[in-house]
C-alpha cells in the first residue's frame, strides 16, 4: 500500500493514522497508538465525520485506561459520547466496526474482511454510501494483507460512485467531486 502517495488527502490521511495506530497497538507501543488514534479522531472532527471521530476517541480512551490513565480516559470517552450524539448513526454500526477491529487485532483477517464487507453492504442498502465506501476500503486493506487482488476490488469504487451520485443529486457538486476523486486515490494507494 502506498500511503505516501495519498496522504495529502484528508480521508486517506485519517485511514493512514488508523492503520498505524493498529500496528503500534499490536506491537505493544501503546503511547504511540494513542497518539495516532487521537490524530485520527481530530482529523475526522475537522472533516465533520462525527461517528468516526467518536470511534477514534473511544479507542484512545480504551488505550489510556489500559495504562492506568483513567482521568484522561474518561475525558476522551466524554468526547466520544459528545461526538456520537451529533450523528443519527445507530450504535450497532459502532459495534460492527469494533467487531471487525477485534478480529483484525486477533489476526483473524478473513473474519475482519467479511465483517467490513457486511458493514459495507448494509450501509449501502441504507443509502449511507460514505460509510459503505469506508467499510469497503477497510475490506480492501485486509484483502491486501491477505495477498488477495486489491486494485481490481470494485466494491469501494462502486460505493464512492454511489456517494458521488448521491451528492450530485442533492446539488452538492463539491461533495460529488470529492467522492469521485476517492476512486483515483484508491487506485494510487493499491498501485501494483
% of the chain surpassing 70 pLDDT: 95
pLDDT over 70 (residue 6)? no
Q: Where are the alpha helices (DSSP H) in the chain?
A: 10-26, 30-46, 50-66, 70-84, 91-105, 109-125, 129-145, 155-169, 173-189
Residue 127 falls in which region: left (phi positive, over 0), alpha (psi -120 to 50) or beta: left
Q: Which residue has the cell 450523528?
A: 87
pLDDT of residue 192: 54
Asked whether this chain's domains 1-88 and 90-192 adopt the same fold, the reply is yes
162-182 pLDDT tens trace: 999 999 999 999 888 988 888
Instruction: Report the alpha-carbon distance of residue 38 to residue 25 in Å, rounded.
Output: 13
**Which three cell numbers mark 188?**
494510487
Cell numbers that stand for 134 in this block: 469506508
Q: What CATH number is given for 90-192 in this structure?
A: 1.25.40
In this predicted model, what pLDDT tens digit does every residue of 85-144 receive, in sequence order?
998 888 889 899 999 999 999 999 999 999 999 999 999 999 999 999 999 999 999 999
Q: Residue ranges per domain, the chain?
A: 1-88, 90-192
Q: Would you identify the CATH topology of the domain 1-88?
A: 1.25.40
Q: Cβ(159)–Cβ(133) under 8 Å? A: yes
Q: What is the full DSSP assignment across 68-110?
A: T-HHHHHHHHHHHHHHHTT----HHHHHHHHHHHHHHHTT-HH
Residue 34 CA to residue 22 CA, distance in Å, equals: 10
C-alpha distances in Å from residue 32, one per residue of 26, 28, 64? 11, 9, 11
For residue 11, the model assigns a pLDDT of 85
List CB contacts of 93: < 8 A, sequence separation 6 or more.
51, 119, 123, 131
| Range 44-62 average pLDDT | 93
Confidence of residue 186 (pLDDT cuts 50, 70, 90): confident
pLDDT-derived band of residue 156, with 50, 70 and 90 as boundaries?
very high
Collapse the DSSP code of 45 into the 3-class scheme (helix H, G, I; strand E, B; otherwise coil) and give the result: helix
Q: What's the mean pLDDT when you consider all of the chain?
A: 91
Q: Cα–Cα distance between 53 and 79 in angstroms, integer? A: 9
Amino acid at each position: 500500500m502506498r500511503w505516501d502517495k495519498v496522504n495529502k488527502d484528508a480521508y486517506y490521511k485519517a485511514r493512514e493514522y488508523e492503520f498505524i495506530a493498529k500496528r503500534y497497538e499490536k506491537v505493544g507501543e501503546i503511547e504511540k497508538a494513542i497518539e495516532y488514534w487521537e490524530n485520527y479522531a481530530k482529523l475526522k472532527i475537522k472533516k465533520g465525520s462525527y461517528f468516526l471521530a467518536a470511534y477514534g476517541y473511544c479507542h484512545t480512551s480504551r488505550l489510556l485506561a489500559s495504562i492506568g490513565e483513567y482521568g484522561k480516559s474518561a475525558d476522551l470517552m466524554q468526547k466520544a459520547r459528545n461526538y456520537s450524539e451529533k450523528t443519527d448513526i445507530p450504535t450497532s454500526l459502532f459495534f460492527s466496526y469494533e467487531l471487525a477491529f477485534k478480529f483484525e487485532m486477533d489476526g483473524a483477517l478473513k473474519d475482519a474482511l467479511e465483517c467490513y464487507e457486511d458493514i459495507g453492504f448494509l450501509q449501502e442498502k441504507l443509502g449511507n454510501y460514505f460509510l459503505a465506501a469506508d467499510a469497503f476500503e477497510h475490506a480492501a486493506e485486509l484483502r491486501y494483507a491477505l495477498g488477495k487482488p486489491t486494485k481490481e476490488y470494485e466494491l469501494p469504487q462502486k460505493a464512492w460512485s454511489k456517494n458521488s451520485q448521491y451528492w450530485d443529486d442533492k446539488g452538492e457538486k463539491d461533495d460529488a467531486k470529492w467522492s469521485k476523486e476517492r476512486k483515483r486515490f484508491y487506485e494510487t494507494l493499491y498501485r501494483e
